[in-house]
Amino acid sequence: MSSDPLALPSLDEAFGPDPYPMYAKLREAGPVHRVLGPEGRPVWLITRYPEARAALADPALSLDRSNAAPGAYGGLSLPPVLDANLLNMDGADHARLRRLVAPAFSAARMEALRERVHGVAAELLTEAAAKAGTAPVDLVEAYAAPLSLTLLCDILGVDRAESQRFHRWTAIVLDPSASSRAQLKDALEGIVTSLARQIAAKRAEPGPDLLSALVTAHDGDDRLNSDELLSLAFLLLFAGYENTVNAIAATAAAALTEPGLRERLAAEPDAVAALVEEVIRFDGPVELAIRRFPTQDVEIGGVRIPAGEPVLIALGSAHRDPEAYDRPDEISLDRDTRPGTLGFGHGPHYCLGAALARLETTTAVTVLLQRHPQAVLAVPRGELRPRPSVRTRGLAQLPVRLGPEL
């Protein structure tokens, strides 16, 4: 493709709220393209499944921004105290931090959480239905968001009132273009102050939660430095919240609107888990994987990419690749699970919270369908709008008339 930045397709302008037609054109033309990234700088975009899967696990593609060529990175720069996190690390440091956090998301811990997730979901639906009466309920605001926030607070041991303030600040960080520089500065300062306060509280009175365990790792064994401790807490709240909210909303919307799906799920409740996987593939919350920087010149799909130039992996495109999936533009509960979705990543940076996100999403949609079998979307499906973001996909609102509760 052209090397002239003015001639490059833009992720912001050319893709819009429905990027899939553009992805189809790019895939047909080739697996790797030069485009204008979210910050208006040229980036390399990987669009086909085989190249995307390989790139996610390629050690030559680094998440560490210190490997970026001069002037190549124009994204949000976090304060150093928040930047020492897993999304800006590779190699031994990345593996060390993952080992500290991984036990909190083990299969046994997730199974122990199952009853709690179900109880919170049922409670939130009852509250939402009581407040709304016959009016529509926004399942993003009243259900998906508080469910994700409550469970993250449980795991981390964070005060819920504090986490609600944190959520308001992260909304600004997620879409800094919609805020002033002063608002962004205040939000970042608020996050640092809030997390420092929570860490101090855990140091004074540790509990059986993840944040206490991380404080102990810092204070006792010195396996975490101060920036790593605060950055890890930030990442767990920041990344663990938004994507799960978006997955719940997208799966609920599909369950309520896809022809024949409601009846199938009523007859086979266990099939909700398959629907979650399929929605993550079809219209998942992570459209673009976090940027990577080659540590050396690399060749991907026959295209040479110089060291240090940013690479974006279009998961939203890879998941619609007809060479990887039969009838990729349809939702099918009977789809062959091979080759597998990339929505939680692949390789050493595979999402630590994948099991929790799956548990929350599957439970949230199951409880919704079982307790409100007559729930219907309150607007035509085509009127649902995504939040303005080129990196993630999530519904701004999901208005639903719940109907009587069983």
Would 18 be classed as within a structural domain? Answer: yes
pLDDT tens for 78-131 read: 777 788 888 889 999 899 888 888 888 888 888 999 999 999 999 999 999 999
Give long-range contacts, CB 8 A cutoff, 24+ apart: 76-82: 76/173, 76/176, 78/188, 79/188, 79/192, 80/227, 81/192, 81/226, 81/227, 81/230, 81/231, 82/188, 82/191, 82/192, 82/230, 82/231, 82/234
Q: What is the pLDDT of residues 188-218, one digit of tens each?
A: 888 888 888 888 999 999 988 888 888 888 7
User: Cβ(173)–Cβ(258) under 8 Å?
Assistant: no
Q: State what percent of residues in the chain have pLDDT above 70.
A: 94
The answer as to whether 244 is a domain residue is yes
pLDDT of residue 228: 85
pLDDT range class, residue 221, cuts 50, 70, 90: low
- In-domain check, residue 68: yes
Asked whether residue 50 is assigned to any structural domain, the reply reads yes
Q: How many CB atoms lie within 10 A of CB 50?
A: 15
pLDDT of residue 222: 57
pLDDT digits (tens, 9 = 90+) for 132-170: 988 999 999 999 999 998 898 888 888 777 777 877 887
What pLDDT does residue 40 have?
Answer: 79
Predicted pLDDT of residue 62: 97
pLDDT (0 to 100) of residue 279: 97
Give mean pLDDT, residues 384-404: 89
Element (H, E) at 42: strand 42-46
The per-residue pLDDT for range 265-285, each reduced to its tens digit, is 999 999 999 999 999 999 999
Identify the residue with better confidence: 179 or 224: 224
Residue whose entry in the numeric block shows the structure tokens 């819009």: 16
Is the pLDDT assigned to residue 334 strictly greater than 80?
yes
Evaluate whether residue 132 is within a structural domain.
yes
C-alpha dist (Å) from residue 102 to 49, 89, 107, 213, 356: 27, 16, 10, 12, 12
pLDDT of amino acid 294: 98
Q: What is the rounded distance in angstroms from the CA atom of residue 290 to the CA atom of residue 73?
A: 12
What CATH number is attached to the domain comprising 124? 1.10.630.10
- Residue 234 confidence (pLDDT): 84
Instruction: Give the residue from 360, 324, 356 showing the smallest Cα distance to 342.
Output: 324
Which pLDDT value is given to residue 2? 45
Q: What is the pLDDT of residue 5?
A: 47
Residue 253 pLDDT > 50, yes or no?
yes
- Does 406 map to a domain? no
Residues 6 or more apart whose Cβ sits within 8 Å of residue 314: 23, 26, 45, 46, 47, 52, 287, 288
Give the residue numbers spanning the domain of 279: 5-401
Domain-located, residue 166: yes
Q: For residue 120, give the 3-state DSSP assignment.
A: helix
pLDDT at 76 (0 to 100): 62
Asked if residue 218 belongs to a domain, the reply is: yes
pLDDT confidence band for 1 (50 / 70 / 90): very low
Among residues of the chain, what percentage have pLDDT more than 90? 56
Count of domains in the chain?
1
Per-residue pLDDT at 6: 44
Average pLDDT over residues 309-331: 96
CB-based contact 309:35 (threshold 8 Å): no
Q: Is the pLDDT of residue 393 over 60?
A: yes
What average pLDDT does the structure give for the chain? Answer: 89
The secondary structure element, H or E, covering residue 218 is helix 210-219
